[in-house]
Structure 1
């Protein structure tokens, strides 16, 4: 199948123009064949021609950090600190175990939202409650296969007891609860590695390479050293991205000082020899200068999730300090319950805004071109596809988004880069293509019946309301002790502040 975009403007990230003059782009199979005057001449007779006049063709957006299993829980929780939020979001309760159809439908919900707004690739750090099973992994991956989106998926599962992952709790909990939270997880290292073997053997490279595996430790403090090293072996052997949440919250900074002999989580991972160019360091808010030097030396990527960071009150990531070191930054929505949407345009806009209150030096504030670089090239780099995605040139994968410039966000058109970042919300997306296949066009998804999907989702998850109430009641038992833990960590002096305003330690 060939597609010719005729008379289209192509996004230019470098230089001052923002976009090319009117030109042609030819797609053959899953790749871009030609750009410019030669494109039409090379088009086969059966080529589909798309009128690109007044439209912008750009690389597809990459949602570089996401958790799919709570796509059905938008708006369910108030803003809460991460450690309290997780009590309600993902307790390992049997009552929350999904069936394969639920897992399939909830995954498709996010795919629909992403494809309609021009997202062509996603990195899913999927957690499975109460543990991963082959049938649920298959249901999630089948949804991605059927949707047409590009995905890299990992199994975000800890293997340590809850008590080992958090500071202060051992002193705060009554003895019965302390024993409960110290209990080893029923699904251990060997079971998790078996699920990874299934994921890699069954799905890595499927759909012509559109579906790929990654690995995830969830966070360094949540896994044993043996499991951490085993995951790194898988990552190295198969060339997989490695996802790790690090220093998302101040509490995690405090935990590092307590559990790892005064070392930050970044230093701990570096000392294990596990920081690498394959690692996506997710959030990286409560990092110091030494942490950033280690990240830069290792060639790791930082995954920035500014809306989630605000929703959970985690703090403001030091964007300029990271960029100054040349550390690649990618952008993500995080999960639908912590962003309440899966819209990368909103993430881009927040990236362009939140760091303006980091300090008065306005020349250090993010520029629109930088934000787009994180959104497109940074996302490609995080996936390990920097030579395949992120730009429109011959030989690259045809993951493309077509925007109508005759829309309110671009009227009048003053500066394309700024209006992409600050004005666009997804309403201008006219077409989405993944691997040369048009998956969204003329307001309609080509790969699914969206009204039927929405109707089924409402029915399925209305029936889940009782289970979610049960999970919330279970969380209430622990809430007083988690509040006390959070307050103690918030009052600790860690030598930095990533909250806005006077948020220093209280004595």
Structure 2
């Protein structure tokens, strides 16, 4: 039996009903789980004592949506809308597959940065070109296992050709360019489900903190039978059905042109909108969509920083919350953000919603932001029974912040100063499942300097190769930029205060 006692701490539990109130006292951890919170504990000789006077103890942060596939592309792109950015971050004309060692390092780097910034759980919407491979996904699991982080990990799937998942593409992209993309084989639904079942039998549950989740890329990129089969399997295995929906206006137009309805309505009509459904982005939802989402009690991963960098817009988070939708926070991938720090997302999300309307009572509070970054984020991962708050019986996923830092001088309000002032420099200790993974602001399980050195030595060659891939894909940019431009001129009925509007019209 292993016991750890955080002694004399200021405690922010984020438990339901706590309303952001802090406690003073001890937190006892035994065999990876929280035993008591706030009560005074008499130490025993075998306990590990962590003196926490002058420290704040709180739940580890949850990154509800990210992509480890992008980690090596940090700082590579700017001034690109999503439809253009995808050409370079997820190129249509692919290069050689990244080596297993670089795949491991890429995943590990994301986990390292996440832990250093207080993230104890992340949902990695991992995408691997050209397909789905058990050994390569096992490499991703191995990196997360070595880091000590908790993670939901996917092998994202799509089976509709890119040009058939975009509005206007077939009418404006030159035929010679279309021919470069057509003819690529698409995975069948039964093949993907068989792959997923193999992962559930081999990798799911690894280390007690790593799970597999089902992630069809987006409803317009997947056939209806694939969407329905993925959702059924997610329900059967009690894991998230994690997908991207209406991140951009182009995607809002796509739903109307392809299906004559919104993509949210399309998911609903396929029977794939419920408590298991976690939607990344949800920027261009209308009132009818929000009503469906609230009734389904689905979740949204709000990617406030990425949505701004890619020019996607601001999700209507206040109205989603009022409808009963669970909201978590995501960084998105590192090359559309360009960090893995959920604290940056928290501050951005707390600020940008001030422009969503003139009534300050409708703006998001620090408590709502912090809830989204902890218990709300855990609910998006279907892990709220495991983590997200400091309660007896839950996993000991804990971060300890030093209050003797600039962010807390002087100390006025714990939640507001975490959201508006903290940048991660106060995080002194991080624990996942009762194991300390960051101590005195240093990673415990990993030789950070050695990993950085290996990345400096090996990744430049990969990036040079990717530069050639970018050059090859640049031929598509004018046409994808035109798709983005045309979509921007379409009225998709997004008057969010007048209910569902008629079908689109050209301005």
For Structure 1 versus Structure 2, the TM-score category normalised by the shorter chain is over 0.9
CA contact (8 A) 1:126 1:156 kept: yes
User: Is 228-237 or 325-334 further displaced after alignment?
Assistant: 228-237
Q: Please state if 1:462 is matched with 2:460.
A: yes
Q: Please state if 1:35 is matched with 2:34.
A: no
| Cα distance in 2 between the residues matched to 1:408 and 1:481 | 49
Aligned CA distance change for structure 1 residues 125 and 61 (closer, same or farther; 3 Å): same
Question: Secondary structure of the equivalent of 1:126?
Answer: coil
| Cα distance in 2 between the residues matched to 1:284 and 1:49 | 44
Q: Please state if 1:447 is matched with 2:450.
A: no
Structure 1 residue 145: deviation in Å? 0.6
| Cα distance in 1 between the residues matched to 2:186 and 2:324 | 42
Paired position in structure 2 for 1:9: 10
CA contact (8 A) 2:297 2:324 kept: no
Structure 1 residue 442: deviation in Å? 1.3
| Cα distance in 2 between the residues matched to 1:239 and 1:16 | 29
CA contact (8 A) 1:280 1:303 kept: yes
CA contact (8 A) 1:490 1:505 kept: no
Paired position in structure 2 for 1:119: 119
Q: Please state if 1:105 is matched with 2:108.
A: no
Q: Give the one of 11, 18, 23 matched to 2:21.
A: 18
Aligned CA distance change for structure 1 residues 171 and 37 (closer, same or farther; 3 Å): closer
Q: Please state if 1:235 is matched with 2:238.
A: no
Structure 1 residue 92: deviation in Å? 4.9
| Cα distance in 2 between the residues matched to 1:79 and 1:59 | 35
Question: Secondary structure of the equivalent of 2:72?
Answer: coil
Structure 1 residue 381: deviation in Å? 0.6
| Cα distance in 2 between the residues matched to 1:340 and 1:487 | 25
Paired position in structure 2 for 1:501: none
Give a deviation string over 1:110-160, Cα, whole Å, max 9, x none. 111111111100001111122232222111110001100000011112111
Aligned CA distance change for structure 1 residues 437 and 134 (closer, same or farther; 3 Å): same
Aligned CA distance change for structure 1 residues 99 and 215 (closer, same or farther; 3 Å): same
Aligned CA distance change for structure 1 residues 17 and 265 (closer, same or farther; 3 Å): closer
| Cα distance in 1 between the residues matched to 2:454 and 2:428 | 26
Q: How many residues align?
A: 497
| Cα distance in 1 between the residues matched to 2:92 and 2:288 | 35
Give a deviation string over 1:253-284, Cα, whole Å, max 9, x none. 111111002x0000011011110100101100
Give the alignment's Cα RMSD to 1 decimal. 1.7
| Cα distance in 1 between the residues matched to 2:396 and 2:19 | 25
Question: Secondary structure of the equivalent of 1:440?
Answer: strand
Give a deviation string over 1:464-507, Cα, whole Å, max 9, x none. 12321121112211111111111111111112279xxxxx9985
Give a deviation string over 1:147-202, Cα, whole Å, max 9, x none. 00000011112111112110101110222222333434354434433432332222
Paired position in structure 1 for 2:218: 219
Structure 1 residue 99: deviation in Å? 1.2
| Cα distance in 2 between the residues matched to 1:165 and 1:445 | 42
Q: Please state if 1:60 is matched with 2:60.
A: yes
Give a deviation string over 1:445-470, Cα, whole Å, max 9, x none. 11110001011112221111232112
Structure 1 residue 430: deviation in Å? 0.6
Structure 1 residue 328: deviation in Å? 0.8
| Cα distance in 2 between the residues matched to 1:381 and 1:129 | 29
| Cα distance in 2 between the residues matched to 1:191 and 1:36 | 51
Question: Secondary structure of the equivalent of 1:467?
Answer: helix
TM-score, length of structure 1 as denominator length: 0.95
Q: Please state if 1:246 is matched with 2:245.
A: yes
Paired position in structure 1 for 2:499: none
| Cα distance in 2 between the residues matched to 1:8 and 1:433 | 15
CA contact (8 A) 1:247 1:286 kept: yes
Structure 2 gap segments, 5+ residues each: 497-503
| Cα distance in 2 between the residues matched to 1:29 and 1:329 | 30
| Cα distance in 2 between the residues matched to 1:271 and 1:113 | 39
Paired position in structure 1 for 2:389: 391
Q: Give the one of 261, 284, 291 matched to 1:293.
A: 291
Q: Give the one of 342, 362, 365 matched to 1:364.
A: 362
Structure 1 gap segments, 5+ residues each: 499-503
Give a deviation string over 1:53-87, Cα, whole Å, max 9, x none. 00011000000101001111100111311111100
Paired position in structure 1 for 2:137: 137
Paired position in structure 2 for 1:307: 305
Aligned CA distance change for structure 1 residues 492 and 36 (closer, same or farther; 3 Å): closer
